[in-house]
Amino acid sequence: MSAFAEAMRERVRAARAALAEARAAGDAYAAAVAEDELDDALRLARAHGVTTDAPEGPEGPGAAP
């Protein structure tokens, strides 16, 4: 696996973790920022053919809107 691909996967994991933490804390602003970061990370991963280790999209399956 390339260093770039692993860095993209780590960026996606970190963004997902930040989003989950912000939602758990009820911080709407931090959640919006984290969601934007996740969207950007997923977009870049797709553009470069990097698969991520979880479903795409900031919400994931079954997440509440």
DSSP-assigned letter for residue 51: P
DSSP-assigned letter for residue 50: P
pLDDT tens track for 21-44: 999 999 999 999 999 999 999 999
Predicted pLDDT at 54? 60
Rounded to an integer, the average pLDDT of 32-60 is: 84
pLDDT band at 61 (very low <50, low <70, confident <90, very high): very low
Buried b (16+ CB within 10 A) or exposed e, 20-35: eebbeeeeeeebeebb
The chain-wide mean pLDDT, for the chain, equals 86
Predicted pLDDT at 53? 75
The sign one gets for the Cα dihedral 49, 59, 11, 43 is positive
